[in-house]
Amino acid sequence: MKYYLIAGEASGDLHGSLLMKELENADADAQFRFWGGDLMQQEGGTLVKHYRDLAFMGFVEVLGNLRTIFKNITDCKKDIEQFAPDVIIYIDYPGFNFRIMKWARTHGYRNHYYISPQIWAWKENRIKAIKRDVDEMYVILPFEKEFYEQKHQFPVHFVGHPLIDAISQREQVDHEKFLKKYQLDDRPLIALLPGSRKQEIRSMLGIMLQVIQSYPGYQFVIAGAPGQEKEFYNTFLEKYDVHLIMNRTYDLLSLSHAALVTSGTATLETALFKVPQVVCYKGSKISYHIAKRIIKLDYISLVNLIMDRPVVTELIQNEFKTQNVKKELQHILDPSHRNKIFADYYSLEKKLGGVGASEKTAQLIYKSIESKHDEL
């Protein structure tokens, strides 16, 4: 069968690649065409457009790139028509995907949504479009099933979280070889995960790096985003005593003692690697104030949202400044506090349902489409 996947971010590329691998196991004749990134491309098929060319963050930034966004939507519709897939699989990225999804419904395509858009955080009225246009929804957070089924009477599949699959399938890193390869010494590592988009990285990394001189007993390492070029980070490397490691975030986290992490999927990844962290976020003033009025959540990190309590500290907007980062970093380096964090992280992983999310989703998609073919 022919599968058309649309992912618009680094996390979507990861989840999409794991799903494609399992779809190939379920369907020997699987053909893929997709919007995504390097990881999905490694699984085969045809990459139509890379997510680094789609990433516009915040209300102001989106407004400034409307012409490009609308052209991408038009191009995507044409490409779908030419490929004529058996199913379109949308991976999060709702601003773009909802437009394609509405069009696809009117043109008779099957719409399957993997990784629910966070309508429980904002734009809850999108449930109307989901009910109208989505054939099957696969959710990865435990509270989402209750949200959809009890609050909105829309049946969904809770499949568990694919990050557990990604982490369990990775090869173990040799500590000594890793340190030698990247010219690191024996001091404990503190990982800096400043995000994946250029504007996000610029905003976050400058403040994160200002704490380095206060911690001479540790070495700081920037996790280079897969969608960025190494040269982009040169400005930061020239000013601070910091290392950069590209495209090895999981290996870095597996060896890290602590981390400063920009809010997003990386907060959950860091927790699953059992690394104490401080969650950071700062956007443009206009985007932040708009979001503050629209988004009604007690927390911004996935860790705290899933646990429904403050497991990790969140430094948001004006609270994200050097003195606060120093204070909270010192806190998570304290051995007496770290044991509580580790216990909370194990509880978090248990809530997420264990391994097998990608396989479960692939089997459900394949069986659903196969049954539709049998009806014809």
Say yes or no: 120 and 203 in one domain.
no
Please report, in tens digits, the pLDDT of each residue of the chain (376 residues total): 999 999 998 889 999 999 999 999 999 999 999 999 999 999 999 999 999 877 555 554 555 567 778 899 999 999 999 999 999 999 999 989 999 999 999 999 999 999 999 899 888 999 999 999 999 999 999 999 999 999 999 999 999 999 998 898 888 999 999 999 999 999 999 999 999 888 889 989 999 999 999 999 999 999 998 878 999 999 999 999 999 999 999 999 999 999 999 988 899 999 999 999 999 988 655 555 545 555 567 888 999 999 999 999 999 988 999 999 999 999 999 998 999 999 999 999 999 988 899 999 999 999 999 887 766 5
Say yes or no: 316 and 173 in one domain.
yes
Confidence at residue 282, expressed as pLDDT on a 0 to 100 scale: 83
Neighbours of 357 (CB within 10 A): 27
* Residue 151: CATH number of its domain: 3.40.50.2000
Say yes or no: 230 and 286 in one domain.
yes
Say yes or no: 179 and 274 in one domain.
yes
Say yes or no: 144 and 254 in one domain.
no
Confidence at residue 296, expressed as pLDDT on a 0 to 100 scale: 64
Domain housing 208: 168-351
Confidence at residue 198, expressed as pLDDT on a 0 to 100 scale: 87
Q: What is the pTM of this model?
A: 0.82
Say yes or no: 114 and 174 in one domain.
no
Q: Count how many domains the chain has.
A: 2
Say yes or no: 104 and 117 in one domain.
yes
Say yes or no: 151 and 260 in one domain.
no
In SS3 terms, 308-353 reads as CCCCCEEEEHHHCCHHHHHHHHHHHHCHHHHHHHHHHHHHHHHHCC
Say yes or no: 177 and 115 in one domain.
no
Say yes or no: 206 and 89 in one domain.
no
Confidence at residue 54, expressed as pLDDT on a 0 to 100 scale: 75
Q: How far is CA 218 from CA 10, 186, 278, 355, in A?
A: 28, 9, 16, 33
Say yes or no: 371 and 332 in one domain.
no
Say yes or no: 97 and 136 in one domain.
yes
